[in-house]
């Protein structure tokens, strides 16, 4: 009879220990920084990039180059590239010095129709992502520039 009581006590102690270990000991620190950093990076990168002036394209901003890219494609920059290719190569250059350097996976898209993007850099995020979408008005419709930061 005493043995049974002892066994119950041991089982109870074990259950309590497992519970404590599960919820207290194995508690991992909340990653506040990661959330802040990836959401800041997604919005700031896009926001900053669209404001940036192109050095070989009459100091036009990337927004203006994307607008031309989605419409007439009449702008030819000093290095011979059209607005689409110039914006794309600048984006590649900027992301190389930032997102690639920080080992971040991302997908950058500029499109009027998402099935046929005008510019596409990086790969589709397979799991969690932080996304930022910027609409840019053009004469016929609206174009979108989107940056997804994976993870």
Could you say which of 7, 11, 15, 48 contacts another protein (CB under 8 A)? 48
- Smallest distance, Å, CB 49 to another protein? 6
Asked whether position 45 contacts another protein by CB under 8 A, the answer is yes
Binding status of residue 2 toward another protein by CB under 8 A: no
Burial 104-120, CB ≥16 within 10 A → b, else e: bbbbbbbbbeeeebbbe
Q: How large is the angle between the packed helices 32-51 and 62-70, nearest 10 degrees? A: 70
Site for another protein in 68-97 (CB under 8 A): 90, 93-94, 97
> Is there binding between residue 53 and another protein (CB under 8 A)?
yes
User: What's the token pair of residue 115?
Assistant: 């099935």
* Contact with another protein (CB under 8 A) among 55, 133, 137, 141: 55
């Amino acid at each position: 009879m005493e043995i049974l009581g002892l066994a119950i006590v041991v089982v109870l102690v074990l259950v309590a220990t497992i519970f404590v270990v599960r919820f207290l000991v194995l508690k991992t620190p909340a990653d506040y920084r990661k959330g802040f950093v990836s959401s800041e990076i997604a919005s700031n990168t896009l926001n900053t990039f669209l404001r940036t002036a192109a050095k070989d394209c009459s100091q036009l901003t990337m927004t203006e180059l994307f607008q031309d890219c989605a419409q007439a494609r009449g702008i030819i920059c000093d290095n011979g590239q059209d607005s689409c290719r110039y914006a794309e190569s600048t984006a590649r250059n900027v992301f190389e010095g930032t997102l690639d350097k920080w080992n971040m996976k991302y997908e950058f898209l500029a499109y009027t129709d998402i099935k046929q993007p005008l510019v596409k850099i990086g790969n589709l995020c397979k799991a969690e992502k932080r996304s930022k979408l910027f609409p840019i008005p053009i004469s016929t419709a609206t174009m979108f520039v989107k940056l997804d930061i994976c993870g």
